[in-house]
Chain A
Amino acid sequence: MTAMASPSLSAASEEQEIALECRNVGKDYFRHNGERVRVVREVDLKLRKGGFLCVLGPSGCGKTTLLNMVAGFEQTTEGDILVGGKPVNGPGPERGVVFQSDTALFPWLTVRENIEYGLRIKGISKAERRKRADEWIEQVGLTQHTSKFPGELSGGMKQRVQIARVLASDPEILLMDEPFAALDAQTRNYLQQELSELCRKSGKTVLFITHDIQEALMLADHIIVMARAPEKNIKAELHVQMPYPRQRMNETFAKLYNRLMDEIDNPFKGSVRSL
């Protein structure tokens, strides 16, 4: 098993189609006292069609803001975001979003109704809607729970519903904002494996935000490390060429893990006295 890690910038090969491109994207916020804070700075990235890009970074580095801008929930202060060659202008169904918070589900709709939601918005007929929803329900293993309400499901099941809901409306690109961060380790493992498999089977393009190095190494073929201000926003870039399904407990994985660990800074580094 050979693994290569090349820290080169914009390494996506030109002959492949680009699904998402960020050109010099920046975002400012204003504090209560009117002070201007730059949360996202000079982000350039390209994501090829069918690729799986992980944005890895500590909390507060602006990675969720970046995803929100790609999703169209927030506007960029500078730079352009292109999806399928067209500039992003507000949210749209060609970009499916899976949120970290399970409140994104509609608690008054059953599992099936939640998954049908995007299709209902598109005006697809009831029979067709149901057929497609049931396929996805089966894909994520929720067949037993179709007519339950989200409030009756566990955290892992709720995230499965979110994933199925997004995939059912067949977006060009999936935007995932730490979707597994609130789950227990076991469930997180299962869902990572399943997501990885689902994405390879369907050839979906994914932009995945996480602060978990292992998660990034399990899923991504391309990792971007983001850092907090005042450092440069994109700190390092890494192509992961391990074959799927991946395993954690081998040397290559451990090497990459340690490298990424060094890249992500610990703000308390040096402040704890060793005994």
Chain B
Amino acid sequence: MSPRRPIVRAGIVLVPFIIAIIVWWVLAAMRLVPELFLPSPLRVWDSAMQMLRSGLLLESIGVSLLRLGSGWVLGVLLATLAGWALGMVDWLRRGVQPLLFPLRFVEPVAWLSLIILWFGTGESSKLILLTYASFFGSFLYILTGVAGIDETKLRAAQALGASRWQLFSTVIVPSTVPSIISGARIGMSYSFLTIVTAEMMDASSGVGYIIKYGSVYMRMDQIFVGTILVGLLGIGIDYAFRQAAKRLGRRYFFDHI
């Protein structure tokens, strides 16, 4: 997007949302739709405050973020190590890559059923599921980065006397940093999708559970609180991630010189 003053940009960002809230408010206030179908914004706000006071809100966020964070770190770590290993051993990469292709069409949460059968319904099952989700999201991406390492750079390093190990540490690792960072972000979004789905399917805590609870008891205000919370969390996580990546990896972001 073209550079503009921050205040104008913030305006452009906010306008669509302000319009949406106004429409929602008018629809609810004019009673065009029954309360059961569309609770008023005030009602939703009250409900959120109530949950905040009872501690349910913060506890749910905490539980979800903890699951998300630990699974994500583990998954990205494993994906990075696996990606580098396959980057070093070409025949292994070509043996493994086609096997991964069908997995692109299998939603991570599809494994939940199996994981529960194998490991029960405890926290460890969720950790395993989320580790997989984040691995799944980031690995495919990191692998593309590894496969696309510029041959000329490898040759240049070799011609300057780099050994196999030096080739790995001075060319392969830095070359893959951008795809690892992008992969980690994609892993995060898959993990988030998976944790929300999993908590809605089968959990007794977390932000997904707020939505599930609301829908079981037909409490539309609670469903709205949960859904909006999921949206805000998603945006917050993505924003934090982008900021962190910007600070960490500046020198690795010349796409190609």
Shortest A124–chain B CB gap in Å is 11
B96 within 8 A of A: no
Q: Which of A95, A104, A169 has the largest number of chain B CB atoms within 10 A?
A: A104
Considering the complex, give the chain B residue whose CB is closest to the CB of A93. Answer: B161
A203 within 8 A of B: no
Contact across chains for B174 and A108 when beta carbons are under 8 A apart: yes
Considering the complex, give the chain B residue whose CB is closest to the CB of A102. Answer: B257
Residues of A close to B177: CB separation below 8 A? 108
Contact across chains for A95 and B159 when beta carbons are under 8 A apart: yes
Interface positions of B from 77 to 100, Cβ below 8 Å from A: none
B153 within 8 A of A: yes
Bitwise, B232-257 to A at CB < 8 A (1) or not (0) is: 00000000000000000001101011
Considering the complex, give the chain A residue whose CB is closest to the CB of B256. Answer: A103
B58 within 8 A of A: no
Bitwise, A79-122 to B at CB < 8 A (1) or not (0) is: 00000000000111101110101111111110000000110111
B218 within 8 A of A: no
Q: Given that A117-B170, A150-B254 are contacting pairs, would A103 and B150 also be in contact in the complex, using a CB cutoff of 8 Å?
A: yes
CA distance A99 to B251 in the complex (A): 22
A244 within 8 A of B: no
Q: Which of B150, B158, B161, B174 has the largest number of chain A CB atoms within 10 A?
A: B161
Tally of B interface residues using CB under 8 Å: 22
B171 within 8 A of A: yes
CA distance A105 to B90 in the complex (A): 23
Residues of B close to A109: CB separation below 8 A? 251
- Interface of A, secondary structure class, is mixed
Residues of B close to A73: CB separation below 8 A? 155, 158-159
Bitwise, B163-203 to A at CB < 8 A (1) or not (0) is: 10010001100100100000000000000000000000000
Shortest B33–chain A CB gap in Å is 55
Contact across chains for B156 and A108 when beta carbons are under 8 A apart: no
Considering the complex, give the chain B residue whose CB is closest to the CB of A122. Answer: B161
Shortest B62–chain A CB gap in Å is 37
B152 within 8 A of A: yes
Q: Given that A102-B257, A108-B174, A151-B254 are contacting pairs, would A165 and B153 also be in contact in the complex, using a CB cutoff of 8 Å?
A: no
Considering the complex, give the chain B residue whose CB is closest to the CB of A68. Answer: B155
Considering the complex, give the chain B residue whose CB is closest to the CB of A120. Answer: B170
A27 within 8 A of B: no
CB within 8 A of A118: which of B150, B161, B251?
B161
> B residues within 8 Å of A by Cβ?
150, 152-153, 155-163, 166, 170-171, 174, 177, 251-252, 254, 256-257
> A residues within 8 Å of B by Cβ?
71-73, 90-93, 95-97, 99, 101-109, 117-118, 120-122, 149-151, 158, 165-166, 169, 175
Given contacts A121-B160, A149-B254, A150-B257, 6 further A-B contacts (CB under 8 A): A73-B155, A91-B158, A92-B161, A97-B155, A102-B257, A104-B152
